[in-house]
Amino acid sequence: MIDIDGSQGEGGGQVLRTSLALSIVTGKPFRIFNIRAGRKNPGLQRQHLMAVKAAREVCGGGVKGAELGSKELTFGPGPAVAGKYRFDIGTAGSTTLVFQTVLYPLLAAGGISEVELVGGTHNPMAPSADFLAETFLPALVALGANATIEVARVGFYPKGGGVLRARIQPAKLRACTLDDWGGTKVYARILLARLPDHVAEREIKVLQAQLPMARKDCEIVHAEAASPGNAVIVRIRHEWGIETITIVGEKGKPAEEVAAEAVQAARAFLEHGAPVGEHLADQLILPMALGAGGSFVTGPITGHTETNIATIKRFLDVKIEVERLEGRRNRIVVEP
């Protein structure tokens, strides 16, 4: 039994999700306490509870403490079983975070899996469905994974109702080096659901004024959704892939502020000149540790990344080193 303090590092849900995935893949049970102690509302919320239930369902494992608000949980895994799964969070909780919990166990299962997730697709505190489809999964493909995702319906706070559908095939992960930067192109997509066009036009005006893009590089997409919503999605294409930056609008927040946050995040990525952004850096270490290793260059190391490294080392005998480079860049090297 591995004991894990959920308050370590940034003290959020990443410790729980990584622990669930690795527990199933390695067959090691764990107990986690002080769950999400670093958050305003500590303990299991609906999306975290669904991640636990999803993990239990794909492996037939045993769990104690799987209740709303629970701050301690014990999980005993079984082997992952390929199949068709549907997970409905019941709120606008993040479907993408639940998907990332079951992804690695199902990659290691013995057949093709189809997963449907219902809830939020664009959440302020989670990777968006766009990030998953355009940044995260292409990086996994470079590592040898075989998985696709489709956004069948978008979901915003408070009703959610978004639908993600994924297809996951078993794969052997290979080593990969993601160091190249090369030339870049910046373009944007403004997502609107039940909101007028002037919201998008105001956001585009800010993006054009502060980022190297023309009006033709900005697309407005209208989507059906249960709740009104808006997201500014800046995409930066570089040598090997795309960095996807998503800022989700909130009720009462001016469109100009939403766009300004996207500009700030895009500028930070462009200025450090590393191909892997801070959110992808969190998530690349795990598949490299489970596979044949690899390395990538990223910007400043975040608390999320440090926490994920510490959690991975609790389950896997793996060497993970951070090498400081010039400027604000770092290289992360993973050796199983």
Query: What's the rounded Cα separation, in Å, for the pair 27 and 11?
Result: 24
**Contact by Cβ (8 Å): 162, 120:** yes
List the alpha helices (DSSP H) in the chain: 14-26, 46-59, 95-107, 129-131, 137-142, 197-210, 255-272, 278-290, 303-315
Active site residue 304: yes
The number of residues in the chain equals 336
Strands 162-169 and 146-153: antiparallel
Report residue 314 as tokens: 């609790």
Out of 48, 198, 279, 304, the active site residue is: 304
**Ramachandran assignment for 19, one of left (phi > 0), alpha (psi -120 to 50 degrees), beta (any other):** alpha
Are 190 and 230 within 8 A, CB to CB?
A: yes
Q: Classify residue 122 by its DSSP letter.
A: S
Distance from C-alpha of 101 to C-alpha of 83, rounded to nearest angstrom: 16
- Contact between 197 and 220 (Cβ < 8 Å): yes
Residues forming the active site: 304
